[in-house]
Amino acid sequence: MSGYGKLQIGSVTLDNNIILGPMAGVSDLPFRLLCREMGAGLVCMEMVSAKAITYKNKNTGMLMDIHEDEHPVSLQLFGSEPDVMQQAVEMIKDRPYDILDVNMGCPVPKVVGNGEGSALMKNPELIQRIVAALVQVSDRPVTVKIRKGFNDKSINAVECALAAQEGGAAAVAVHGRTREQYYSGQADWSIIRQVKEAVKIPVIGNGDVVDGESAKRMFDETGCDGVMVARAAQGNPFIFREIKSFFETGTTCPRPTNKEVYDTVIRHADLQLKYKGDYIGIREMRKHVSWYTTGMAGSAKFRNQINQMEDMDSLKKACAEIML
């Protein structure tokens, strides 16, 4: 029986099955912490390069920082060479992540051009070898995230999910779009159902979940074991609270007031500055503030001001003008 509730992924039990998806440049530590506090059952980190880990890249090390209050958390690797990925996992074994995920869905040309991300879907046999190699050295569950297929001529999510399962994966997340689609058009949920019917491991559905009603529809239409929310959470960590409320009470809790949005933005910015320093922290907050204010009165004009924000005082002042 699919639907909202706890979810077991290998040895890890999630207190609910609504999951923050991994997003490069978005699902960093401050944002994950906010989403977890709002009720996400699992938060996924930005993808990190296995090769960069083996080179001891400093920025990659920072991407893997984890806050004690965000557990359970999934660390996502990308790469295409089983031995390099194995080596990376050995090198990060002391990091306190709960689940190891492999990115097989990223559509970005630079990643795909290296044979990584969604390019792996062209080679299900390699998918199986990568997963098996990681399961061999990982003391935590290994999961994979795939797409519907590489393009409309190659819709092979079922074959790739079976390969991952054969390699020992503990779960598979399926985004209902092809690599060719990126994030455009409508996600095809029927492919999620097909994967669910083919494999024995938990299947997490991803694509076009924007509220409690669409989450319920995804459970109902696909039979999936968990639902992943990604772009709909940008500037909107409140979505996890709202989806939880929808399932637990039958009604969606009220949208946050402008004052609560303001307080959340300031908390988000405080965390950014704490973990990334003033210069990077404020600059990375600009896109988040733009998302938080989407749809507010005067938000189009406000977007021009956002790029002028140089410090916490200017951020507070600008946000107070539009939100309070």
d(C-alpha 34, C-alpha 133), whole Å: 33
51 φ, ψ to 5°? Answer: -60, -45
44, 106, 160, 319: the active-site residue: 106
The count of residues in the chain is 324
Q: How far is CA 294 from the centre of its chain?
A: 21
One DSSP character per residue, 257-322 reads: PHHHHHHHHHHHHHHHHHHHHHHHHHHHHHHHHHHHTTTSTTHHHHHHHHTT--SHHHHHHHHHHH
Long-range Cβ contacts of 250-259 (<8 Å, 24+ apart): 252/211, 252/212, 258/296, 258/323, 258/324, 259/323, 259/324
Residue 164 carries which side chain, given as an amino acid letter? A
Residue with tokens 């600009």: 286
Q: Catalytic site residue 106? A: yes
Instruction: Please enumerate in sequence order all residues whose Cβ is within 8 A of that of 92, keeping only pairs 6 or more positions apart, or say none.
Output: 53, 64, 75
d(C-alpha 70, C-alpha 37), whole Å: 8
**Sign of the torsion angle spanned by Cα atoms 44, 98, 84, 88:** positive
User: In 3-state terms, what secondary structure has residue 226?
Assistant: strand
Q: Which residues are catalytic?
A: 106
